[in-house]
Structures are given as C-alpha cells and as structure tokens.
Amino acid sequence: MHYTWRWFGPEDPVSLADARQAGAKGIVSALHHVPNGTVWAPDAIAERKSLIEAAGLQWSVVESIAVPEAIKLGSGGWQGLADAWAQSAINLAQQEITTICYNFMPVLDWTRTRLRHRLADGAECLRFDLVDLAAFDVHILQRRNARFAYGATLLDLAETRARTLDEAARSELINTILAGLPGSEESYSLDSFRDQIARYDGVGADGLRRNLSQFLSRVIPQVAPHGVKLALHPDDPPRPIFGLPRVVSSAQDLRTICAMHDNLANGLTFCVGSLGVREDNDLPAMLQEFGARVHFLHLRNTRRDRVSSEGALQRDEIAGESFEEAAHLEGDADMAQLVSLIVHMERNSGRTLPFRPDHGHAMLSDLKQGYRPGYPAIGRLRGMAEIRGLEHALRGRAASGEAAG
C-alpha cells in the first residue's frame, strides 16, 4: 500500500513536513485556486509538483479536477468543458501524475450537518444527522415539495428541531451545508442553492447516469492513451438528498458505471466511509468484485446511529440514516478484513494501491491549533498508524504462512 495524505496547498494548516512525519510517502492534492472548467496549465502543475517534491514527497493522486455542473446536467457547452477537463488530465499525465479522483454528485460535494460533533472522550468528529438535514430542507431552505421527501415521523422531529435552533445554531447549520466543506468546489447562498437544485428538475437518476456515460465516452478516449486512471468517488452520503439524484451509491451503481466504458481507465475510488453508510453495501464483496477497477482507496470508518438524537430507539423510517465519523478501526466496517483483502489483491496483481486516511477525529493539539473539518493532523496520523499496523501484521502473517507451507 502506498501511504498518502491529502494536502490543500500552501494555505493548509497541516504542512507537507507534518504529512511526511506522519508517515506519508505521497500527497493527494489539487489546484483548488483554478476555476472550474479551466484547463490546468503545465506550469501551475509543475510548480505544485516541485513544492511537494522539495518536501521529500511525491504528488501521487489528484483530488480533484472538478466536474462542472453543465457536464452533470448535459447542458449546452458540456463538450467543451469535458475537453478542458481531459486536457487538464493529459497535462498532469505528462508530468507523471496519472491517478485522478473525481466525483459526479450534483450541486453539493460531500455533505455533513455538524463539523465539530463532540464525542464522549472529548475528541471531535464530523456528523450527518438526518433530522438536521430535514429541518434545514423543509424549514430553512423551504425547498419546493421538500415535505414529500420525508415521512411523518421525520417531519415531526424536523419541525421540533427547527423550532429549537437559536440564531447561532441556525447560521451554523446553513454554513455547514452550503459554505462548502474542504475539497468542495462551490459555495452557495440559500437563494443560489435553490436555483441550482431547480436546474436538475426532470433530470432524475437515469438522466444523471446518461450524462456521466457521455462524459466518460468523451474523456476516456482522450486520456487513456496517456496512462490516466480515473477514480470515481462514491456519493457521500450514498443516497439522494434535497431531491437531487445520486448514482454512485451501491454495488449495482458501480456495475453500471464500469459497464459504461469497458476500459480500466474508467475506475473507482473505494471509499469505505461513504459506501459503508449504507447497511446494504457488502464492502468486502464489493472490493473483491470491483478490485481491478479500484485505483485509489479512502480508508475511513463511519458508525450509523442505533438511537435517535432524542435518545429513543429509532423507528424504521429513520434507523441507520444518521451517522458520524468513527475511529478508523471502530466503525461499522470491518477494516481488518478490508485491509486483508487489499493486501491479497496487491500480492496477486503486483499493484501497489494509493490510500489515504480520511476524516480522522480531531484530538490533542488539533483542538488547540484549529483544523480544517475532516482533516485534522493528529486524527489522521492515528488512522494512518492504525492502518499501517494492520497491514504489517497481515503481511507478516501471510509470509509466515508461506514459510510454513
């Protein structure tokens, strides 16, 4: 496994030196300052690459070249934007950066409702609370027909939640959802968010799949000859929100996407945390099924709620819909089993897959110095160390078994 670390550029409070001390060998980065739809210039790529290499690291994965909304909508001019996207990928490949993680989530990138959820041990984590989301959608955003997306129990809970929000809590919820989390490419006001959602009226899941397929059909023939490997990130959370379709959420979704273009360049990012939010996703089976198409790994864990935020057992309507980021070895996903499968995959294929620890808990000096939500230094260091320990133990056990045999 190739140990990497997400770095948001020179303004990131966690430095390249910090990443190297944590045990990273590679960096996952992007030119976040380049506007969406604009070709990444070779000089800008070279400058970022040189900065990373001067710190004794390599630029291993790009996350992400943003996919403009016009491509997701299939609206006028999408072809030129897709060609610009492909040219950025080609420019990266010419400087030996060939793995590109991207997503195809409409309007919003990854979404949470709380950025600093306090845990019993005093650490902080990211949280997605369905009641908070419904309260925002129905009572703050006041999206047209929003009530029809939720059942009676959830609507009652959302109404109560909305009534209890003071002005500070209301503003925090709005900013958390709309202002853009780290790595997101957009930031919205309530009005502009409503407008963006309205653009997807009538698109639906079938339309979004069609637009993804035509994007891949235009881009892959351009980038594959340069050795580019696309790694599509799952939806986060892996279900429709705000009436927007999501089409990268389940095993069947991944089968459909792989069939869109039968080329290994049409690949996946296997994000344990995102896919693991759905209880019906069998992660070990999915990793084995799609292993040849997996070009990048996000090893993080989530824990689905067993009880509601009101403390009572959840009804079927909302059970398991809310979740929080768990410690890497302590969530719903069996990380030891998944790392074992990854070790086996690498041994059989001869590949070394890049992975990064993701969304670690904020703890210790993270809490004193400040951090980007989801990207604390100590929490990710802990996750990387835990994964490294698992990998070393599993490889040692495999080697002992071979020697005994």
Burial of 54 (0-12, 13-18, 19+ CB in 10 A): exposed
CA dist 387 and 395 (Å) reads 12
Q: Show Cβ contacts of residue 55 under 8 Å, excluding neighbours closer than 6 positions.
A: 16, 17, 19, 20
Q: What angle, rounded to 10 degrees, do the helices at 377-404 and 335-349 form?
A: 60
Single-letter code of the amino acid located at 8: F
CA dist 318 and 306 (Å) reads 10
Residue 397 to residues 285, 299, 328, 343, 393, Cα–Cα distance (Å): 22, 21, 21, 11, 6
Return the exposure string of 256-265: e unless at least 16 CB atoms fall within 10 Å of the residue's CB, then b.
Answer: ebbebbeeeb
Structure letter (DSSP) for residue 259: H
CA dist 212 and 60 (Å) reads 25
Which has the closest alpha carbon to 265: 215, 225, 212?
A: 225
Q: For the beta carbon of residue 1, count every other beta carbon within 10 angstroms.
A: 19
Q: Show Cβ contacts of residue 176 under 8 Å, excluding neighbours closer than 6 positions.
A: 112, 113, 114, 115
228 phi and psi angles, rounded to 5 deg = -70, 135
Residues forming the active site: 233, 271, 298, 358-359, 375
